[in-house]
Amino acid sequence: MTQEYRKTPEALARLTPQQYRVTQDDVTEPAFRNQYWNNHDAGIYVDVVSGEPLFASVDKFDSGSGWPSFTVPIDAANVVQKKDRSWGMTRTEVRSAHGDSHLGHVFDDGPAEAGGLRYCINSAALRFVPLAELEAEGYGDYLALFEGTTASTKENAR
């Protein structure tokens, strides 16, 4: 895609207070009380600030953590990893590459058959784009991720 993804003052002004706290102040939203932890619809998740594509529903799994969890980003170049030594422990924080939004953390306790990683992501850092709207919203290049999904999965996205 040729779209430019970046953080702008206008994008920051559109954020809710919770979205701002999570993406700009590195806050973690409550488990099980966030928008996408239990979303099973087909589509992609993009950075709420920059719009850059981050994760796809085909890589989402129920980790039991109460936050959306993914095995892999759509494009590794859109997710930056940083050491996080807050809260008396060392973790790996993940941020969007172009928007510099705090997304969450990556852990090594994901499904072994899918690489063993769990990207534990704050819903407030994401905007969900349903499969049926990918083309209209400029994310048509990602339709190929859903080839071979069942018709019922596609219907749930409409």
pLDDT digits (tens, 9 = 90+) for 3-57: 789 999 999 999 999 999 999 999 999 999 999 999 999 999 999 999 999 999 9
Distances (CA, A) of 49 to 61, 125, 126, 146, 150: 24, 8, 8, 25, 31
Query: Which residues are catalytic, by number?
Result: 120
pLDDT digits (tens, 9 = 90+) for 77-97: 999 999 988 777 788 999 999
CA-to-CA distance for 104 and 117, rounded, in angstroms? 13
Q: Which pLDDT does position 151 carry in this prediction?
A: 43
Reply yes or no on whether the pLDDT at 153 is more than 50.
no
Which amino acid is present at 150? T
Domains and CATH numbers, the chain: 9-145 (2.170.150.20)
Reply yes or no on whether the pLDDT at 156 is more than 50.
no
pLDDT digits (tens, 9 = 90+) for 92-151: 999 999 999 999 999 999 999 999 999 999 999 999 999 999 999 999 999 999 998 754
CA-to-CA distance for 23 and 25, rounded, in angstroms? 6
Antiparallel, parallel or unpaired: β 91-96 and 69-70: unpaired
CB 88 within 8 A of CB 16: no
**H-assigned helices in the chain:** 9-13, 17-25, 151-156
Q: Which pLDDT does position 150 carry in this prediction?
A: 55
Q: Which pLDDT does position 154 carry in this prediction?
A: 39
CB 84 within 8 A of CB 91: yes
As a whole number, mean pLDDT of residues 61-78 equals 97
Distances (CA, A) of 2 to 14, 39, 55, 140, 141: 23, 29, 18, 12, 11
Is the overall model pTM greater than 0.85, yes or no?
yes
Which long-range contacts (C-beta less than 8 Å, at least 24 apart) are formed by 21-24? 21/124, 22/102, 22/122, 22/124, 22/125, 23/47, 23/48, 23/49, 23/99, 23/101, 23/102, 23/103, 23/124, 23/125, 24/101, 24/102
Reply yes or no on whether the pLDDT at 2 is more than 70.
no
